[in-house]
Chains A and B, each alone.
Chain A
Amino acid sequence: MSRLLRKGVSTLILAFLIAIAVLSVFTYLVLSMARATQIAVTGLRSVVEYSYKASPYSLALNETGRGREIVNLGGSDLVIDRIVVKSGDWLEVLTPQEVGCSGNVIKAGSSITCTPPPTCRAPCEFIAVINKEGVVVNIYKPLIRARTLNVTTMFLIAITFDMISPQDLVQEFNVSPSLVAKPYPNTPSIVGMESGDKLLLLPRGQESEFYNAPVYTDPGNPLPFGVAVVGYDPSWVKENRSGIKIPPRFSLLIAGPKSPGTGFNAGNKRISLAENGWRVLINNFTGYVKIWRGSQVIACSSTRPQDCSGVSLPAVGFWYYGVDQGLNLKIEFNGVASYVANFMRMSSSQSPTRETSYYPYLYIGDVDGNGINDLIFITEDVYYGSYDKIDDMWPNEPGKPNDYSDYSTQPLELKLMQIGRALGNQDGSIDGSMYSGVLLYMNILFHDNSYPDVNQLRDIDRTDWVLRVVLLDDKGYEYIVREYRYQEICNYHKSYVTDFGRDNYFVKLSQTVYIPIPGPGRYWVAVVFQDPYQSGKTNDADLTVGVELIGVTPFYR
């Protein structure tokens, strides 16, 4: 029995050993295969997981100037941890704050804008965004493809004078404030205009702001005047354009020689016009304005149409040389207003600079009733003349006739900031690397007091400009593109009119000026005015120069 057992045991042991050997080998094989598979499966899973995390994010980049807008076109909100940026030749990984981003969450379908600081050197390219989970999302930068297009409309930037007061020119047209400041006496910085004799200043107490105070000429005594500009008040023009139909309000600029015994009433004050010649500005006037010729009302404009029944010619417009015996024009107004300024002719010692500003000489309002404000620069006050006398002087003035010649010491430059702003630059400049030029359409008007018109070139024989279109660059250079000299522009107007209603001092002139832009750089277009003619028998004209509308069409390079 034991021998049998021994034989069975040896067989068992042998079988066991063989089994172990075989099993070991095969176990090893299977395990290693399983491990390999598992690694591959795990790797696949993490790739799948990663792709799953990354796929909802789809970012596109929109570059405008220095700004970088990142748009999330995907379906999930993206929380930015870092942004990968190419600064110069280096790739940098920066926080959203370091890159100047407006936030660190880009909601699905929305965008954030980043304005990288100058430390991020050009091209400052945004490459990718890393989110809080460590997922790298590439930013697709759209490839710009130029495609030519037949368009049905042209691109034109319309510039209008949508403002209330000459001081608004500072904000809208970057005019130097000292050129349009209110000319109170002893104001240290007002500049721009001088006069043949006394300066037009605004003494304290001669300026009133009311809430609808009565403003009226003496009943039965309309006011004789030299020059009157009657137009729709710019604040009413603005309201009217927005569709609110309200009765019209007016703005009046009236000038005249010394007129003892005359005056008008504003609030509870009497404004006497007996001094050395006067110029009055009345804003936001509700009431009627009538122009008398002799004993008849020849023109009338009113907030209430019934005030003007029987008179078809509107008072809105320009009226020159009322004091002339052949015309004998007077103005009557009765209503309420919110602002009255009585500019007075004073010795130049009352101004530290010996100059006054353009403020008294600028009128803003709609003078032809077509719904757009006109900007009028008017130095004419009282009368006309030719080569044998000072033009703006009234020979029949009581006492010794005053010299009302006014002229510029510095031109009034209106920078057309609206062009650059419409093209995307906050500083109003035009990018010379993108645009090769601009085409300017202008509707302008002109009048002067050199009369008779057939002799005006003898009276004004010194060639000088009154209106200019210039191009300015960022280094301070000024290129004169188009200059309107007196001798050219004077041809289009008629100084003296008697046949009111049929005859015209002028109609708007439409002018087109092409302005080429030299090359890369920042440029501004400016329209510049001046009255270059001072005093004397010749070369002493006073002017009316106005702009109504400017249209600008830029041309791509």
Chain B
Amino acid sequence: MRAKRVSLFRRGAGEAIAATIAFAVLSLAIAYIILGAVPRLSIAPSTASGAVLGGVEQLVVIQREMEVGSNRTIVIEVLNAGSAPVRIDAVLVTVGGTPLLVRLGSKSICNSTQPGVLVPRSSTIIICSRADYKPVGIVTQGGKVFVVNPRIEALFEKPTGIPMKTLYGGVTVTSTSSLLRLLYNKTIVYSGAINTTIPMKLLLNKSSEYVNAQLSASLVVVGLNPVNGKLNILIIGNATSGNSITVGNDAVDLSRAGALRYRLKIENFTGVIQIGSSPAGPGIYPCLINTGKSCRVTISSSEPADIIRLYTNTTTLTPQAVGLDPYIFVGDIDGDGNTETIFVTQDFTTGNSGSVNDVNKRFNRVALDSSLKPVRLILSTVNGSQYSAAVLSIRFFYWDNSIDDISDNDNRVIVRAGLLDTATGEVRYSVALSYYELCRYRHPPFSISYVTKDFMIYIPSENKEFQVFIELADPYSNTGNRNDADILIGLSYIGMSLVSR
């Protein structure tokens, strides 16, 4: 009966122990599960605090160009504009368009000038040592990405200069033929341009021929064609005995044909031109004006010249209209690579208010040339809805054959520039140079002195096209001994700056 009691007790204790053990196992299992879950739960807070961190991180990223060593590279400047310190972990770069993430570090391709923590209001510059790596953004330790933000930058554009378009200059034109395309009225080259007291006819008009001549000249203009290095020549004078010219197979006894006056134009000449006793280069040779005597000019081609035109006097005694061709010359007369366009009505002598200025003394015939139509060049077009004003810069030289200027000649307009209504041809705005101003830019006897003037041109506020023009005119034929000036005017450069509306 004791054994029974003992086993009963033993059974009770055993049950207690079993229960305890079971509980313990169960508890451990639960504990393990719970503890296992804890790390996951604690990720949330750390993520949350990371989110908190990312939430207040505010960085501004700006792309700059900097001198690094001897090269200019693209770098980014990172400014901490927020209120929390930030650590930059990586740089986002583009390599030929493809994005790449580069970790920052001392041994990395990309480095920060302020490694470590970026405190609020401070900045750092991230430079990548490879030139093809263009940094565009950064990634913070908080996991937030900041890239170059175009809205944060305002470009302050500072123009480096005033743009001036060359309307005439350099090699815009190289010969009279190329000047044609700028002429407003192209028919005036052949007729109706100049009223002259000694009319001329085109005696010879040849192309690609050898030309040789011996001439007595009063005024010679020699200019370079900068494109091909050949010469353009204009020889003005009245022929004396022994003067002759041979073009190809045609020989002309100039002493008969051009005794009153002649003008010889040669374009693209290769060979020797001798004025006096020495070979002549580019320039203006005012033989009769400066020395009182004509020069002896000798021409011999070594290659065919492109164009040879010889104008000689007709027998008409009354004034007649002729074309512009013999009065216009294109060439670089001072060897600076810039061709001048010269309009010359001067032939022989100078004069004053007591005499007619330009006279062939040998035959006592006045050689007065004046414009029937101005030499008008169209340089450009502008639209009145786009531009409100223009500034024209003109470089030119002027000479006339009057010794006593304002006593001899009235104050007529010689140069005019401005705007034409393309549709109607009406002059809408113009500035002008009149005789009283121009005659002060020249010094007797003859020399070239350049003048540069700027003109402000007002563009009417109309949605239409205007042509920018310049025109030259010799407005003096004569009234007795007055208003008889002949001129020589050379255009060297015309530039235009536009002002947008």
Indicate whether A and B interact: yes
Please list the residues of chain A having a beta carbon within 8 angstroms of any beta carbon in chain B: 3-4, 7-8, 10-11, 14-15, 18-19, 22, 26, 29-30, 33, 36-37, 39-41, 43-44, 47-48, 50-51, 58, 60, 62, 73, 138, 140, 142-156, 158, 160, 241, 243, 370-372, 441-443, 453-454, 491-494, 497, 499, 502-510, 512, 549, 551, 553, 556
B462 close to chain A: CB less than 8 A: yes
A160 to B460, CA, bound (A): 12
Q: Evaluate whether A47 and B52 lie within 8 angstroms (CB atoms) in the complex, with A22-B23, A29-B34, A158-B458 already known.
A: yes
Decide: B407 and A143 in contact? CB cutoff 8 A: no
Inter-chain CA distance A142–B149, complex, in Å, is 10
Q: Whole-angstrom distance from the CB of A528 to the nearest CB of chain B?
A: 20
Assess whether A48 is in contact with B51, with CB atoms less than 8 Å apart.
yes
**With A50-B55, A156-B391 known to touch, is A146 a contact of B41 (CB < 8 Å)?**
no
| List of 5 A-B pairs having minimum Cβ-Cβ separation, nearest first | A40-B45, A44-B48, A142-B154, A441-B456, A7-B12
Beyond A140-B81, A371-B428, whether A60 also contacts B151 by CB under 8 A is yes
Are B391 and A551 interface neighbours, CB within 8 A? yes
User: Once the chains are docked, how many angstroms separate the CA of A496 from the CA of B156?
Assistant: 55
Which of B14-22, B201-209, B220-228, B266-274 binds A?
B14-22
**With A47-B52, A158-B389 as given contacts, are A551 and B456 in contact (CB-CB < 8 Å)?**
yes
- A152 near B163 with CB under 8 A, answer yes
Chain B, range 411-448, C-beta contacts under 8 Å to A: 411-413, 428-434, 436-437, 440
B180 on interface, CB distance cutoff 8 Å: no
| Contact A149 B461, beta carbon cutoff 8 Å | no
Chain B: which residue is nearest A52 at the CB level?
B55
Smallest Cβ-Cβ distance to A158: which chain B residue: B389
For A509, what are the chain B residues with a Cβ–Cβ distance below 8 Å? Answer: 437
- The reply to whether the CB of B182 lies closer than 8 angstroms to some CB of chain A is no
Q: A26-B31, A494-B436 are in contact. Are A549 and B456 (CB under 8 A)?
A: yes
| Residue of chain A at shortest CB distance from B388 | A158
Are B458 and A372 in contact, CB atoms less than 8 angstroms apart? yes
Instruction: Flag the segment in B321-329, B330-338, B493-501 that touches A.
Output: B493-501
Bound form: Cα–Cα A147–B456 in Å: 29
Residue contact A443 to B456, C-beta cutoff 8 Å: yes
Q: Is B454 an interface residue (CB 8 A)?
A: yes
C-alpha spacing A472/B460, complex, angstroms:
32
C-alpha spacing A370/B46, complex, angstroms: 79
Interface range, B side? 35 or more
Establish whether residues B52 and A152, one from each chain, have CB atoms under 8 Å apart when the complex forms: no
| Contact status B498-A153, CB under 8 Å | yes
B residues near A7, Cβ cutoff 8 Å: 8-9, 12
Q: Of A441, A494, A508, which contacts B432 at CB under 8 A?
A: A508
- Residue of A14, A22, A29, A148 ringed by the most chain B CB atoms within 10 A: A22
A305 to chain B, nearest CB (A): 15
User: If A36-B45, A148-B158, A508-B432 touch, does A140 touch B499 (CB 8 Å cutoff)?
Assistant: no
Q: Is the CB of B158 within 8 A of A44?
A: no
For the residues of B in contact with A, the DSSP-based class is mixed
Contact residues of B between 440 and 497, Cβ < 8 Å to A: 440, 453-456, 458, 460-462, 475, 497
Smallest CB-CB separation from B429: which chain A residue? Answer: A370
Contact in complex: A506, B434 (CB < 8 Å): yes
CB–CB B152/A40 < 8 A: no
Q: Is the C-beta of B47 less than 8 angstroms from some C-beta in chain A?
A: yes
Partner of B159, one of A10, A48, A140, A150: A150
Q: Contact: B12 with A11, CB < 8 Å?
A: yes
Let me know if A241 and B152 touch, CB within 8 A: no
- In contact, B48 and A43 (Cβ under 8 angstroms): yes
B58 in contact (CB, < 8 A):
yes
Chain A residues positioned under 8 Å from B498 (CB to CB)? 152-154
Within the complex, the shortest CB–CB distance from A496 to chain B, in Å, comes to 11
On chain A, the residues within 8 Å of B58 by CB distance are: 138
Contacts of A11 in B (CB 8 A): 12-13, 15-16, 19
B contact residues around A556 at 8 Å (CB): 158
Given contacts A15-B20, A153-B497, A153-B498, 18 further A-B contacts (CB under 8 A): A8-B12, A15-B16, A15-B23, A138-B82, A140-B81, A140-B151, A145-B156, A147-B157, A148-B160, A160-B458, A243-B462, A370-B430, A372-B429, A441-B454, A497-B411, A504-B411, A505-B411, A508-B432
Closest to A6 in B: B12
Interchain CB contact (< 8 A) of B499 among A145, A154, A243? A154
Shortest Cβ distance from B108 into chain A, in angstroms? 26
Instruction: Please indicate the chain A residues that have their CB under 8 angstroms from the CB of B475 in the complex.
Output: 502
Select which of B155, B388, B434, B462 is within 8 A of A504 by beta carbon.
Answer: B434
Contact with A along B10-52 (1 / 0, CB 8 A): 0011011001100110010011001000100110111111011
In the complex, 22 of the A-B residue pairs with CB atoms within 8 angstroms, ordered by the A residue number, are A4-B8, A7-B9, A8-B12, A15-B23, A33-B41, A51-B55, A140-B60, A140-B81, A143-B60, A143-B153, A145-B64, A145-B153, A158-B389, A370-B429, A370-B458, A491-B440, A492-B437, A502-B410, A504-B411, A505-B411, A506-B436, A509-B437
Bound Cα distance A123, B333 (Å): 61
Distance of A29 Cα from B30 Cα, bound (Å): 12
Q: Which residues of A contact B499 (CB under 8 A)?
A: 153-156, 158, 551
Tell me the complex Cα distance, A370–B431, Å. 10
Contact B49 A43 (CB under 8 A): yes
User: Which one, A138, A371, A491, A502, contacts B436 given CB within 8 A?
Assistant: A491
Contact between A549 and B458 (Cβ–Cβ < 8 Å)?
yes
Taking the closest CB of chain B, its distance from the CB of A389, in whole angstroms, is 21
B389-A44 in contact (CB<8A): no
List, in ascending order, chain A residues with CB within 8 A of B462's CB. Answer: 243
A30-B499 Cα distance, complex, nearest whole Å: 79
**Which residues of chain A come closer than 8 Å to B16, judged between CB atoms?**
10-11, 14-15
CB-CB nearest in chain A for B389: A158
User: Which residues on the A side are within 8 Å of B13 (C-beta)?
Assistant: 11
Pick the contact of B152 from A143, A372, A507 — CB < 8 Å? A143
A153-B163, A241-B460, A370-B428 known; A492 vs B158 contact (CB < 8 Å): no
Complex: how many Å from CA A556 to CA B157?
12
User: Is B184 among interface residues, defined by CB-CB distance under 8 A?
Assistant: no
Query: Contact: A507 with B413, CB < 8 Å?
Result: yes
**Binary contact readout B397-411 vs A (1 if CB under 8 angstroms, 0 otherwise):** 000000000110011
A486 to chain B, nearest CB (A): 15
Most A CB contacts (10 A, CB to CB) among B16, B387, B411, B437 go to B411
Q: A29-B34, A143-B62, A147-B158 are in contact. Are A503 and B412 (CB under 8 A)?
A: yes
Indicate if the CB atoms of B41 and A150 lie closer than 8 Å: no
Cβ of B1 < 8 Å from any Cβ of A?
A: no
Min CB distance, A375 to chain B, in Å? 15
Find the B residue at minimum CB distance from A240: B460
Closest Cβ of chain A: how far from B73's Cβ, in Å? 16
Q: How far is the CB of A60 from chain B (nearest CB, A)?
A: 7
B428:A494 contact, CB within 8 angstroms: no
List chain A residues, Cβ under 8 A from B55: 47-48, 50-51
Contacts of B159 in A (CB 8 A): 148-151
CB-based nearest A residue for B154 = A142
> Smallest CB-CB separation from A512: which chain B residue?
B454
Query: Which residues of chain A are within 8 angstroms of B19 by Cβ–Cβ distance?
Result: 11, 15
Interface string of B143-181 (1 = CB under 8 A from A): 000000001111111111011000000000000000000
| Chain A min CB distance to B140 (Å) | 15
A152–B41 alpha-carbon span in the complex (Å): 65
- Chain A: minimal CB distance from B451 (Å): 12
Q: Are B453 and A510 in contact (CB under 8 A)?
A: yes
* Cβ–Cβ < 8 Å partners of A510 in chain B: 431, 453-456
Q: Closest chain B residue to A60 by CB distance?
A: B151
Q: Which residues of B lie under 8 Å from residue A15 when comparing CB positions?
A: 16, 19-20, 23
Chain A residues, CB < 8 A from B461: 241
Q: Which of B20, B152, B389 contacts A140 (CB 8 A)?
A: B152
Q: Which residues of A contact B82 (CB under 8 A)?
A: 138
Chain A residues closer than 8 Å to B34, beta-carbon distance: 26, 29-30, 33
Please give me the residue from chain A that is nearest to B430 by CB atom: A370
Task: Indicate if the CB atoms of B432 and A507 lie closer than 8 Å.
Answer: yes
Question: For residues 214 through 270 of chain B, which have their beta carbon under 8 Å from a beta carbon of chain A?
Answer: none
- Min Cβ gap A426→B in Å is 22
